Chains A and B, each alone.
Chain A
Amino acid sequence: MIKNILFITSIFFSSASIAGALEVTIISAEAEERMNQGQSFAGITVEPDRPVLRAVELALFESKTLLQRLGFHDALNTLDIKPDRDLREQLLAISPSSLVILDIPLKTMLKVAPILNELKLVSFNVRHSEPTLRNSLCMDYLFHAIPSDHMYFDALSQFLIYRGWRKVLVVRGPSKKDDARAETLIVSLKKFGASVVDNRQFSLSHHPDDRDKNNPEFLTGGASYDVVAVIDSEKDYGRYLQYSTRKARPVVGDVGLTPKSWHFALERYGAPQLNERYRHFKKGDPLSSQVSMTDKEFAAWSAVKLVTNSLSTNKKIGTNFDLLNLLKNPQSQVDLYKGTRGSVRLWNHQIRQPILLATPDTVVAVAPMPKFLHPKHYVDTLGLDEPESSCQLSKK
């Protein structure tokens, strides 16, 4: 069922202007158990996971003044799909001019994205950072607002090189996802000149036979390293490594110093204003002071803002605009409150942006780090560059 949850009619500044519409549809998967995601043992939440709805509402709320000035009204719909039923039939309910935000699990997205592409609906991946998606789902109508793992790990690697912590001990979890992400991390580390001292797997147990895998001191012993990089997608074990390594070395990666696209403690670039708005824009539903958008929510927010910001910078766009043309225009851009604007990498439709290096309570640095230079775009030392990408949408 498609639900219209918000409809703002605009007050026109000029009565001559014809109303255009910006419609946003968020697709979620029915009965997806998000409550348990990001939760570790005994109900301890290590990484909150919320639906992206609030962030999309915020983006539209923020854009209201500009949309009114442009003679646009906006509408927000949600579509809760049943992943087991005929997807195409369910997706036909979406209005042909709507911007689609994909707040769905990876398995469902792999099926939904190709259908949306056929239906010529512009959609945004806001949840999945898997680099392979940027190649396997290389489609005209699909964009990626959440950074890829290449971008996250390139930022982390630049930081390590910048600090002179070149010898890295990689410690990863037992899942396939951890394996793949550790590989991506190692690619990044080597790209910027770090050396991987060893690549070890941890296990969450106390079995004496597995001591070299489950005991932090053994796991990080017998090697010389500047820093331990942990890959722990489930946030299961990694957090126990801090302050427990064999050598007194910092822990980075999925715990400790972490690459993030957004953070509650970013002090500059107008970020405190955005965080404050996110917490308080919904009357009667304020959030507490340390809550801010998760990377997924920030991705959804930036997808909508990319469209509304581009509407104003692209003066030739009329009220009857084509969403894909708007986004594929090299002039399209978004103010991300990170000191450097974001825009679309036309070859694989990834939103380029700075990445924050942060601990749970502070932002330590904003990558790209100094002296990592790219000939064209300041932030394109983060992630797959055009010649490295097998997805070449701009050459089609």
Chain B
Amino acid sequence: MRPAASPRLPGYVVLGVAAGLAALLLGRPEPAVLAAPFLLAVAGALAAARRPELAVSYRLDRDRALEGEEVELSVLVTNLGPRPVARLEVELVLPRGLSEVFGPRREASGLGAGATRTIVRRVRCRRWGGRLLGGVRLRASDHLGLLKWTREDSRALPVRVFPQPEALHRLVRPAETQAHAGNQVSRLQGEGIEFADIRAFVPGDRVRRINWRASARRGAIQVNAMHPERNADVVLFLDTFSGVQGRTGGTLDMAVRAAAALAEKHLGQRDRVGLIGFGGTLRWLQPGMGDRQLYRLVDALLDTEIVLSYAWKGLEVIPPRTLPPQSLVIALSPLLDDRVTAALLDLCGRGRDLVVVELDPAPFIDPGPRETDRLAFRLWAMEREAMRARFRALGATHLRWRHGQPLDPVLAAAAPLRRGARLAAR
């Protein structure tokens, strides 16, 4: 531990020395008498000074939590030295995104030789992400507080705070399905449950598919054609080039929460889900199914952050297997960076089934007090409206999601738009 003196210590020493000199110069004992308690305090503190030997360990009740949940952190401080510590202050150092629920941030009391003190704190996980929990500041002092020893212990325990997913009841239906069985009703005809059409019987059709009423009406055997249930490939495209942050959240928070919810819901429907983090650092996860893929996706989302980069990046940097053909691409972006806009327009141009969920940055931006500021803001808004029109014209489904609004109705609005979008594309 690092020793440090209280400002009192030099003050008392100077006072004592000055009084001693005064006693000599004046030839009187009173100045020396006045100095006596101060010099005794200094001498006593220095004579009893021993560097404390403290060991710190941590315990955490769990290492994974959802946003808004609480974890319990126990800090165990043991005095390994032969002497008691007169006063020991323990202050918890929490990283951003975590906060203490209640109780004083600093706790002070004595610690006997060989004794262990346990400080239990409840910590609220305010924001998603991987965090390191467990740093403490220790301040030990003697009985009079004249000498202090400080130490910062930064050994920490990792906590993974998962984003609180958005409540979703319906999803965007993909235009194309894959070969595996799933919950998406395919547009093709085959073995399935959903009724598609009535057609004439051909050799090989199952007898139970015969529609007897239609056959009686038409005078020839008719069978029911069905839509098979298939799965789909869904690629979540996260824009990590830029973002806007407000007091209560930002576009990146919105993107991560939406991606977590979409991944969970699509994987629950037996779809294959992949992830592309398109930004200063390109990160991807090939589409996959099942619970393991969900954990992979959420773990990848926790490490998502905005990385500043000036390098121009296009679709060519994305590995082809990450974007399978006939996959549904759901882009979550504030559409603030030209590189992302260009990449998404490129995807549209290549005939990909694209849904752009625009994480509206407008609520986070103050138009400014002056008339020129407001004019600039209106021009910027008009440019964005033109960009949205380009997406729609190219056949992409453009959805606008504002901060504080639930995602479910936004996705629900996609169904009529996608019918229109496909017609426009054709």
B is a partner of A: no
